[in-house]
């Protein structure tokens, strides 16, 4: 039963020995990591048991001004820096996928522990990175990849390692939370709220990764993998962003007692045959106003965990930005450096459960559907019959005047996503339904 459990012992260098660090990347996060390493070198050395020694900083453009960095430490040859004998730990804060993947794999294969803040890399390639770390018996840390300084990775890897996680629901993207909160609190349109997020520096010039949910989906893949001991990749995550949310959706949600949040939801589910599976999804979600996630405003992040023994836990804070991200990188650096000095390894990825990934259509969800219907006898019966034909039960139905048509707002009970999606398609073709204006899932 336990034959395939790997030994994790690693002999240390010994107390007081310096630990050589290579930093790959000198953007917002890299700059802050270097500042913290330098300003807190003494306390960090005490916490680790030996000093951190910066051996080099790899950058793409050597001609750029790098205030605060000793020019003799700068290089544009990241691979040579990684392979230096005096480098023990490589910190990857470049971003992107292919080039950092090459560097991180090379570092692990060369026996260097790696600390990365790169969610897209981990969500796409956790399998080969973890295998390389195991083969070389070194550490692979990535706390900063999910919600920056909110210690959610170590919470799943360590603090809740003895518990059974049932569900992890998170607001893990600050830009979209800022936009949705601005729409909610000021009545702004999506376009105006996005413009404000761009003006304030939350949204990037190309906001696609944030607003279409890709950034949150990478984080969902990482959370689901850790929480359910199963490899979940970015491509396994169902993903819908917030770009179609309108001011009318926000107002309708408010009237019904909800706020709209972009949630990453990772859960263990059982299908009709009792087969367990993992579901990971990102989509706009109606969260009841009284739920703790509903009060997470501005660009804050929060991760809500439901576990068998621990019950309900929530972790809240800044999920992005140079300083919070650097805090998480430094925490990982201290952990990896301690292991270099004293020996041993951090808990690595553990995918023993190897659960199947649930097809999104087989997940039970609930819909809030806002549609325009003809204002005539029998329309309500037609709409109800469409739901009933797939065995979908309605929780509430509200009708409002809306010009020459009527507005029908339906909230369903739980049903299979595939049945709900097919029902919406059928409603769109119904003679009495003029338009299905919005479909938003409930939490």
Q: Which is nearer to ligand HSE, 213 or 335 (CB)?
A: 213
Q: Classify residue 76 by its DSSP letter.
A: S
Q: Does residue 176 have a known ligand-binding role? A: no
Taking CB atoms within 8 Å and a gap of at least 24, the contacts of 274-278 are 275/356, 276/355, 277/355, 277/356, 277/357, 277/358, 277/362, 278/224, 278/228, 278/230, 278/232, 278/355, 278/356, 278/357, 278/358
Question: In whole angstroms, what is the distance from residue 352 CA to residue 161 CA?
Answer: 13
Q: Does residue 29 have a known ligand-binding role? A: yes
By CB under 6 A, tell whether 320 contacts ligand HSE.
Answer: yes
Of 173, 279, 285, 365, the one binding ligand HSE by CB under 6 A: 173
Q: Which two tokens stand for residue 358?
A: 């649930």
CB 89 within 8 A of CB 338: no
DSSP 91-102: EE---SSHHHHH
Main-chain dihedrals φ then ψ at residue 111, nearest 5 degrees: 85, 20
Q: Does residue 423 have a known ligand-binding role? A: no
Which of the residues 174 through 193 are near ligand HSE (CB under 6 A)? Answer: 174-175
Q: Does residue 383 have a known ligand-binding role? A: no
CA quadruple 13, 73, 102, 32: dihedral sign: positive
Site string for ligand HSE, 80-119 (x = CB under 6 A): ---------------------------------------x
Main-chain dihedrals φ then ψ at residue 202, nearest 5 degrees: -75, -50
Question: In whole angstroms, what is the distance from residue 301 CA to residue 324 CA?
Answer: 12
By CB under 6 A, tell whether 329 contacts ligand HSE.
Answer: no
How many other β-carbons are positioned within 10 Å of the β-carbon of residue 78? 26
Distance of closest approach, residue 119 Cβ to ligand HSE, in angstroms: 6
Cα 413 → chain centroid: 27
Q: Which is nearer to ligand HSE, 173 or 365 (CB)?
A: 173
- Concerning whether 434 is annotated as a catalytic residue, the answer is no
- Rounding to the nearest 10 degrees, give the CA dihedral for residues 189, 195, 198, 200: -90
Of the listed pieces 170-178, 237-245, 261-269, 431-439, which binds ligand HSE according to CB under 6 A?
A: 170-178
Of the listed pieces 83-91, 160-168, 171-179, 434-442, which binds ligand HSE according to CB under 6 A?
A: 171-179
Of 32, 92, 139, 210, the one binding ligand HSE by CB under 6 A: 210
Q: Which is nearer to ligand HSE, 210 or 370 (CB)?
A: 210
| Catalytic hit among 219, 233, 261, 434 | 219
What interhelical angle do 247-255 and 174-186 show, nearest 10?
70
Of the listed pieces 87-95, 172-180, 272-280, 337-345, which binds ligand HSE according to CB under 6 A?
A: 172-180
Of 88, 92, 181, 215, the one binding ligand HSE by CB under 6 A: 215
Which of the residues 345 through 364 are near ligand HSE (CB under 6 A)? Answer: none
Active site residue ranges: 219
Binding positions for NADP(+) are: 24-31
Which residues form the interface with ligand HSE (CB under 6 A)?
A: 119, 173-175, 210, 215, 319-320
Q: Which residues are annotated as a binding site?
A: 24-31, 119, 204
């Amino acid at each position: 039963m336990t034959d395939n459990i790997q030994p994790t012992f690693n002999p240390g260098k010994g107390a007081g020995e310096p630990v050589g660090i290579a930093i790959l990347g000198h953007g917002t996060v890299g700059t802050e990591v270097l500042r913290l390493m330098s300003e807190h070198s003494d306390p960090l050395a005490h916490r680790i048991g030996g000093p951190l020694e910066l051996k080099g900083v790899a950058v793409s453009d050597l001609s750029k001004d790098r205030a605060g960095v000793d020019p003799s430490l700068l290089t544009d040859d990241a691979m040579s820096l990684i392979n230096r004998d005096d480098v023990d730990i490589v910190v990857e804060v470049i971003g992107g996928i292919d080039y950092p993947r090459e560097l991180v794999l090379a570092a692990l294969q060369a026996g260097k522990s790696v600390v990365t803040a790169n969610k897209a890399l981990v969500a796409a390639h956790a399998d080969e990175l973890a295998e390389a770390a195991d083969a070389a018996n070194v550490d692979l840390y990535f706390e900063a990849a999910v919600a920056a300084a909110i210690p959610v990775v170590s919470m799943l890897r360590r603090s809740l390692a003895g518990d059974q996680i049932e569900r992890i629901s998170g607001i893990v993207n600050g830009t979209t939370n800022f936009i949705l909160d601005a729409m909610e609190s000021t009545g702004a349109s999506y376009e105006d709220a996005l413009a404000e997020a761009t003006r304030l520096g939350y949204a990037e010039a190309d906001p696609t990764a944030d607003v279409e949910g890709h950034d949150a989906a990478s984080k969902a893949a990482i959370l689901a993998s850790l929480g359910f001991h199963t490899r979940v990749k970015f491509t396994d995550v169902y993903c819908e962003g917030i770009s179609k949310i309108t001011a009318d959706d926000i107002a309708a949600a408010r009237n019904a007692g909800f706020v709209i949040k972009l949630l990453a939801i990772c859960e263990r589910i059982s299908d009709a045959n009792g087969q367990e599976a993992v579901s990971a999804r990102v989509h706009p979600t109606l969260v009841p106003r009284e739920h703790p996630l509903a009060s997470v405003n501005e660009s804050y992040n929060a991760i809500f965990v439901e576990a068998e023994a621990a019950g309900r836990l929530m972790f809240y804070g800044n999920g992005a930005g140079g300083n919070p991200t650097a805090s998480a990188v430094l925490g990982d650096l201290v952990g990896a450096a301690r292991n270099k000095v004293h020996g041993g390894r951090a808990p690595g990825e553990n995918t023993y459960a190897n659960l199947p990934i649930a097809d999104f259509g087989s997940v039970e969800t609930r819909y809030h559907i806002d549609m325009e219907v003809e204002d005539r006898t029998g329309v309500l019966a037609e709409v109800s019959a469409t739901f009933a034909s797939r065995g979908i039960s309605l929780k509430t139905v509200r009708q409002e005047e809306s010009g020459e048509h009527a507005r029908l707002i339906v909230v369903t009970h739980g049903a299979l996503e595939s049945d709900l999606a097919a029902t919406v398609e059928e409603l769109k073709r119904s003679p009495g339904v003029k338009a299905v204006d919005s479909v938003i899932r409930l939490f």
